[in-house]
Amino acid sequence: MHASPAMRVILNFKKRSLTEPSQVWGRELKDAVASFTPVVGAAGDRLAHLCLFAEAEEIFLFLLGSEFSDAFGADAAMTDDLEPWEGRITFEREEDEGLYTGLTCLHIAILQGNTRLALIMLDKFPELAGRSLKGIAFKPRKWVRRRAEETGGRRCLPRRSRACDVQVNSLSSFDFGNTTMSLAVCMGNQVICEKIAATLPEGTLDGLAREQDCAGNTILHRVVQHRKYEVLRWLLRAVSDRRTWEIENNERFTPLTLSAILGYNDILHGMLTTPLYARTINVDFASHIDICCNRLVAPGNDGQQKDVINLLDCAVFAGLDSYESNTLAQTFVAEHWNKSGRKAYLRLVLFPFLLVMILAHVLYAVRAQEVQGNWMEAWANNCTANLTYRLECAKKTLQ
C-alpha cells in the first residue's frame, strides 16, 4: 500500500465514510487534503489516483464535486514516475517513460471493474476515452524483430525461435493492451465498451481496432484471448472495417486463427455465425486456408516447434473434442476435405510415412550388408583357423 501522508489521510477518512454521511466529515476532509493539491507524488500520482488505489470511491466522488475538482487530478495521467530514481535505475529506458506513465483514474476504474465510476469519468472527461498507456509496466514485450529470411522468401517449416527475436520486458506481466478500449474489452465489460465507443468521435472505433500493441495484438485479438463472448458479438457488429479482422499479431495469428488454435469453440462459432464476418472472411473460411498456409506455428508434443499448415489444422491441434458439438466446424471439415484435407493428409501423414519407411528400409539394407560382411569375415577367419589347426596336427603325427 502507498505509504505517503496523503494516503494515510485517505485511509482514515475512508473508514469514516463507511459509517458517516459526507456532511459530517466533508469539511474536515477538505482541510486535511488542501495541502496535498495539486502536488504530484513521488510515483507520478495525484490525489485522485490515491483515492482509487485505496478503493475510497465515496471520497473520490466527494472531492470530484468539490472546489478541489480542478486540482484533484481526476483527469490527469501519471507522469514519469522513474525520474526521482534515475541514479539507481539499472536498465535502459526508452523515451523517458516511467513504469505507469499514462495511467488515469478511468483506467484504474476499468481494471477494478467499477462500472459506475467509469461511466461518471467518461461523462465528465470524455477526452480520457482516447488516452493510451505508455509506461514500461504496460509493455510485457518491447518488440519482436523479424529476421530477414522471414520477411523475404519463407523457408520450408519455419521455426518460431529462428523467425523472431523477442525482446522480453521482465518488469511487466500486464497483458491487457495499451488503450482504454483494450482494458474494457479484456475485462469483458460491454457497458463500458459501448460508452467508450459512443464517446469517441464518429469513425474512430475502426481506427482504434487497427491499433496494435507491443505484441501486435489489436482489441480483436484481446477479446479472443480473454474469451469475452458477449463483447466479441458486440465488436463484430460495431467494427465495420473488415480489414481489421485480417490483421496478424507478431505470432502471425488473426483473431479467427487465434480462436481456432486456442480451441475456443464458442468464440469461433460466434465469428462464423455473425453476418459481417460471414460475408467477408468466412467466404474464406475456404480461402483463409490459403492466406494462412505456412504462416502459423504451434508447439509440438515433445517441446519442439511444429509447423501448422492451415486453419483446419489449428482446430485439429486444439483438440477435436473442442469442436465435437460444433456442426459448423464439422460441416467445414466435410466441405473442404477434398480441397485441403487430402492435401494436408498427403503432406502431413502419407509422405512423411513413406519417407520414414524408405529410410528405414535403406538403413536396414545397409545394416544387413554390414552384418553379412562381418559374418562372412568371421566365417573365413574360422575356416582359416580350423585348417591351420588340422595342418599342425597332421604335421605332428608325421613326425
Q: What are the cell numbers at 115? A: 462500472
Burial of 190 (0-12, 13-18, 19+ CB in 10 A): middle
Cα–Cα distances (Å) from 42 to 46, 47, 83, 104, in that order, read: 10, 12, 9, 16
Q: Tell me the Ramachandran region of residue 37: left when phi exceeds 0, alpha when psi lies from -120 to 50, beta otherwise.
A: beta
Q: Tell me: pLDDT of 194 over 90.
A: yes
**Averaged over 40-68, what is the pLDDT?**
77
**What confidence tier does 185 reach under pLDDT thresholds 50, 70, 90?**
very high
Query: Crossing angle of helices 327-336/265-272, nearest 10°?
Result: 70
DSSP 8-class letter at 220:
H
**What confidence tier does 381 reach under pLDDT thresholds 50, 70, 90?**
confident
Instruction: Please answer whether residues 197 and 205 qualify as being in contact, where contact means their C-beta atoms are separated by less than 8 angstroms.
Output: yes
pLDDT at 195: 93
**What confidence tier does 255 reach under pLDDT thresholds 50, 70, 90?**
confident
CA angle at 85 for the pair 79 and 86, rounded to the nearest 5°: 90
Q: What is the pLDDT of residues 285-301, one digit of tens each?
A: 444 443 333 333 333 44
**Averaged over 360-378, what is the pLDDT?**
75
Q: Tell me: pLDDT of 192 over 90.
A: yes
Of all residues in the chain, what percent carry a pLDDT higher than 90? Answer: 9
Collapsed DSSP state (helix, strand, coil) of residue 132: strand
Task: List strand residue ranges (DSSP E) for the chain, in order.
Answer: 141-146, 164-168, 296-299, 305-308
pLDDT at 275: 59
Q: Which residue has the higher pLDDT, 188 or 287?
A: 188
Instruction: Please answer whether residues 179 and 134 qualify as being in contact, where contact means their C-beta atoms are separated by less than 8 angstroms.
Output: no
**Averaged over 199-218, what is the pLDDT?**
85
Please state the pTM of the whole predicted model. 0.63
Q: Tell me: pLDDT of 119 over 90.
A: yes
Place of cell 562381418: 374
pLDDT at 166: 45
pLDDT at 171: 52
Q: What is the pLDDT of residues 89-109, one digit of tens each?
A: 555 666 656 677 888 889 989
Indicate the average pLDDT of the chain.
71
Spatial CA neighbour of 124 closest among 16, 199, 223: 199
Q: What is the pLDDT of residues 135-169, one digit of tens each?
A: 777 776 554 444 434 333 333 333 333 344 445 55
**Averaged over 39-53, what is the pLDDT?**
73
pLDDT at 221: 92
